[in-house]
Amino acid sequence: MKILLATLLMTVSAGHASLAATRLVEPQLRLQKQEKGAPPRVALTFDACSGKTDERILSTLIDNRIPATIFVTGRWLKRNAAAIAVLKAHPDLFEIENHGAMHVPAVDLPVSIYGIAAAGSPQAVEAEVAGGATAMAGQGLTPHWFRGATAKYSLSSIGQIRQMGFRVAGYSINGDGGSLLAAPASEKRISAARDGDVIIAHINQPTHAAGAGVVKGILDLKAKGYAFVRLNDGTEDGSDDTAN
């Protein structure tokens, strides 16, 4: 009986370890809160996955002198030379970071996330992360942060990305639901931000209604007196050992 019980406990323990190894996480990231009396502060982050550039968002940021962190893929870099030139022309506003080479989820397991096949192995994760950095280096850019496609990871892939020298950029508010929300929903989510929030949205879908809502949400925050910072300009606290 004791042997049977010990075997059962070992099996359960191994099962828990297996689940932990395969569990995917979607890390949170928040800025350090402001001191009492200081204006609330948020970080705007935008993914440029592939496709084109949402000029509605880009022009709003420039016209209103609002800083943001832009995560670009190698695929997007190839197709948006004019937008990259604009971003690089405003180094006081834009921090450009690594979104991977081909917009493949940086997960070292053979899984599908939102219908997108993950990298599937440590070697493929390295290719996705390093490939994005190499594409950026070709533009004279040196990234310090990484955000993978779908923003989901295994704990082991987070460790691997950190060992490659990158902090992993989570978020606390999904501003546009992968650019699929209606404009009013995007505006509502972003305008509801609180001090310390890190907002994710997309800047590569100019035909989607969500972009108009993103613009309105940003302007709502500005009208309420919010301050905006890039990730490298703030002190952050990230879950799952992503940015600490």
- E strand or H helix that includes residue 200: strand 198-202
| pLDDT (tens digit per residue) in 85-111 | 999 999 999 999 999 999 999 999 999
The answer to whether the CB of 196 falls within 8 A of the CB of 32 is: yes
| Domain annotation for the chain: domains and CATH numbers | 25-238 (3.20.20.370)
Could you please report the per-residue DSSP string of 104-151? Answer: ----SSS-EETTEE---SHHHHHHHHHHHHHHHHTTT----EE--GGG
| pLDDT (tens digit per residue) in 15-24 | 333 334 569 9
Kindly report the backbone phi and psi dihedral angles of residue 127, in degrees, each rounded to the nearest multiple of 5, phi listed first: -65, -40
The answer to whether the CB of 42 falls within 8 A of the CB of 197 is: yes
pLDDT the model gives residue 7: 41
| pLDDT (tens digit per residue) in 183-219 | 999 999 999 999 999 999 999 999 999 999 999 999 9
Would the pTM count as exceeding 0.85? yes
Q: Rounded mean pLDDT of the chain? A: 92
Q: Could you identify the residue written with the tokens 């879950």?
A: 239
pLDDT the model gives residue 15: 38
Q: How far is 192 from 157, CA to CA, in rounded Å? A: 32
Q: How far is 204 from 66, CA to CA, in rounded Å? A: 18
Residue 12 has pLDDT above 70, yes or no: no
Q: What is the DSSP letter of 138?
A: T
